[in-house]
Structure 1
Amino acid sequence: MGATRTSDVTSTKLSVVGAGSVGTAVANACLIRGSADAISLFDLNPEKVRAEVLDLNHGTQFAPSCRIEGDVDIAVTADSDLVVVTAGAKQRPDQSRLELAAANVALARKLTPQLLAVSPDAVIVFVSNPVDIITYAAIEATGVTDGRIFGSGTVLDSGRLRYLLARRADIAIENVHAFVVGEHGDSEVALWSGATIGGVPAENFRIDGLPVFGPEVRAELFDEVVRSAYEIIRGKGATNLAIGLASARIVEAVLRNQRRVLPVSTLQTGLHGLRDVCLSLPTIVDARGAHTVLDVPLSPEEAAGLAASAATLHEVQASLDL
């Protein structure tokens, strides 16, 4: 890690690449939560990055102590412990994340080596879409296969599912556990077989003796998870607030060495028969990055869905010569 030490106190540095709606939401969430001791914004638009840095700094009185700076020079990210990359073309209404692939893959291939040149020990987390394809391209461009490069994956999708389950069950979201895996996109898969409400399997959860999450309800809720991003983009132009908070959770898992299990997108090396593709499965995230994929049980339907999701990503990779 690239943390500096002053008076025996370790200082953590986070850099955010891209000062658009997502990048500033990530920076703001991390500022409010006290996720890092220093935050640097890197963007090629000088007026935008200066304005966002000013706006964030004007709120520092009301948040945990944090130094905030920004620049159009990538040197502003030097000696980062963690870099969150949000830069890239923006998803249009009704455009799939995979349709964004070509331009953002080219950016990742160019940008990632530059980021590692000034922060050679940094963990790099991609949030830009299509996150699985971009993460794979960045790993291929750098040869860094040890888990220090990974994507935000289905952390947000899993949060969306947990929110819907909690609302339908009328239970605090902290007591709801469920994962969405695979592509962060239309082919993703909900792991209903492992979903629990207060320790009760979701399929067995009842209110007044009546089952709450029957097959039709499960299908309805998962369809809402998949469609929600398109609805948000149509209404406000981008999804940014929730991914900002989700990214802050990932940042803290790394910078605080929390060993959290998060469904992030990593290079698969054989579990469930998956290889040479980045997709999301429950994975341990700590100061080293995302490095241990857990062997969660899958129903036959879930295993087939995960294989189909991987095949979708492989097809896109092949079309981009990855």
Structure 2
Amino acid sequence: MSNGRKVVLVGCGAVGTSFVYSAINQGIASHYVLIDVVNDIAEGNAMDLSDSHAVLPSPFSSIKAGTYSDCADADVIVITAGRPQKPGETRLEMVADNAKIMKSIALEIKKSGFNGITVIASNPVDILTHVYQEVTGYESNRVISSGTTLDSSRLRKLLGERLNVAPRSVKAYLIGEHGDSSVAVWSRSIVMGKSILEYVEEGAITIDELQQVKDDATNMAYKIIEKKRATFYGIGACLARIVKSILNDEKSSLMVGALLKGQYGVENVYISVPCIVGAHGIEEIIEWRLSEEELQGLRKSCTQLSEVFKTAQAAIK
């Protein structure tokens, strides 16, 4: 390992640079390396980000543009490369193009001798994480999809607004695909120690309003893309949260994409479920006892992703 914690970013678009900006503001790592298919973009961003060094509360040691050889001694690699989502396009419709890009990145990283943990946010994220894991052959617990970390953050924000409670005090989750088939787990959602279903019984919120909150959280990306062509600050902060949990060995419970091996009755699908994230990556997949409706929704999401994964596999042959 390098002297101090080292993070490599692959893909210096808006999502990747938002992640690094969030990370340096929180003092997450000592060394940052930026890799992009256009080296000038990596260099320009490294210069721009380093301009903040003198005024940051938590200093870092270095930030520079680099190459895949810099991955060899990295602790964590974050991959955000890929073509962006077009207005009106679903994440799943981007699959063939981005699967090819992911395969080429995976081969370069594998060749470097990297032995750390990879966190992936390129869309469609669950599919591309699975592609990367298969191409590299890395242990699945060391390859993590950003999953529904962002979706769940949106759900907490919107539910907090409805109930006039700070988002940090809301424990509410979306599981399944990072996308249209995600499932709100109301049976496990708690605000101030009280179940959401108790709030419904008391008339503070209705089932229809909960459904609207879920729909709004799921469709938030489309609204943002329509207005400003891309989403990046929210996912950048979520990536920093995941990487911080790894580097600090926090063993925090996060909604990330993991390869299921029988959990929830599902085999060989990357999908978002509650996981303990620490120094070894995904240290445990937590199996919640879901309501029948929630479990069926999760399995339906898994079936959909399995089908799309076949498209990705065909694209990279």
Confirm or deny a common fold (TM above 0.5): yes
> For residues 67 and 145 of structure 1, what CA distance do their matches in structure 2 show?
30
Aligned residue pairs total 313
Aligned pair in 2 of structure 1 residues 135, 67: CA closer, same or farther (>3 Å)? same
How far off its partner does 1:72 sit? 5.5
| Partner residue in 2 for 1:38 | 31
Kept in 2, the 8 Å contact 1:81–1:119? The answer is no
Counterpart position of 1:8? none
Whole-angstrom CA distance in 1 between matches of 2:147 and 2:136: 20
- One-letter code of the match for 2:54? Q
What residue is the counterpart of 1:24 in the other structure? 17
Q: Deviations over 1:114-166 (max 9, x none)?
A: 21332522100110000000011111112223411111000000000011111
Structure 1 outlier segments of 4+, above 6 Å = none
8 Å CA contact 1:164–1:221 kept in 2: the answer is yes
3-state SS in 2 of match to 1:321: helix
Q: Which residue, 231, 234, 247 being the options, matches 1:255? A: 247
| Structure-1 separation of matches of 2:64 and 2:97 | 24
1:278 CA displacement: 0.3
SS at match of 2:87: coil
CA contact (8 A) 1:203 1:214 kept: no
**What is the distance in 1 between the residues matched to 2:20 and 2:312?**
31
- Whether contact under 8 Å (2:7, 2:75) holds in the other structure is yes
The 5-angstrom pairing of residues 122-133 of structure 1 reads 122-133=116-127
Structure 1 stretch displaced more, 311-320 or 191-200: 311-320
Aligned-pair distance for 1:46?
2.4
- Residue equivalent to 2:238: 246
2:293 corresponds to: 301
Q: 1:276 to 1:146 in 2, by over 3 A?
A: closer
User: Could you tell me how far apart the structure 2 residues matched to 1:258 and 1:24 are?
Assistant: 24
Q: Give the match for residue 55 of structure 1.
A: 48
Maintained 8 Å contact 2:16/2:80 = yes
In 2, the alpha carbon distance for the partners of 1:245 and 1:43 equals 20
Identity percentage over the alignment? 33
Q: 1:94: which partner in 2? A: 88
Partners of 1:50 and 1:131 in 2: how far apart?
A: 26
Tell me, yes or no, if the aligned pair for 1:41 and 1:76 is still in contact at 8 Å: no
Q: 2:163 is matched by which residue type in structure 1?
A: A
Is the contact made by 2:131 and 2:312 (CA closer than 8 Å) also made in structure 1?
no
Partner of residue 68 from structure 2, selected from 68, 74, 83: 74
Aligned to 2:103: 109
- The unaligned stretches of length 5 or more in structure 1 are 6-10
CA contact (8 A) 1:188 1:309 kept: yes
Deviations along 1:158-179, one digit per CA (max 9) or x if unpaired, are 0000111111111122211011
Contact persistence 1:123–1:148 (CA under 8 A)? yes
**One-letter amino acid of the structure 2 residue matched with residue 103 of structure 1:** D
Please, what is the CA RMSD of the aligned residues? Answer: 1.5
Residue 256 (structure 1) shift: 0.6
Q: Is the 8 A contact 1:145 1:267 kept in 2?
A: no
Distance, in Å, in 2 between the alignment partners of 1:119 and 1:229 is 36
SS at match of 2:77: strand
Matching residue of 1:155: 149
Q: Which amino acid aligns with 1:56?
A: L
Q: Per-residue displacement from partner, 1:91-110 (whole Å, max 9, x unpaired)?
A: 01110000111111112222
My pick for the range that moved more, 213-222 or 139-148, is 139-148
CA contact (8 A) 1:45 1:72 kept: no
1:205 aligned counterpart, secondary structure: helix
Question: In the alignment, is residue 233 of structure 1 matched against residue 225 of structure 2?
Answer: yes
Offset at residue 36 of structure 1 (A): 0.8
Which one of the candidate residues 116, 129, 136 is aligned to 1:135?
Answer: 129
Give TM-score scaled by structure 1 length: 0.93
- Consecutive unaligned residues of structure 2, counting only runs of 5 or more, are none
Distance 1:258 1:107 in 2: 32
- After TM superposition, the structure 1 stretch with the greater mean CA deviation from structure 2, 140-149 or 309-318, is 140-149
In the aligned structure 2, how far is the partner of 1:127 from the partner of 1:317? 16
Verify the 8 A CA contact 1:16 1:40 in the aligned structure 2. Answer: yes
Which whole-Å CA distance do the structure 1 matches of 2:108 and 2:303 have between them?
Answer: 31
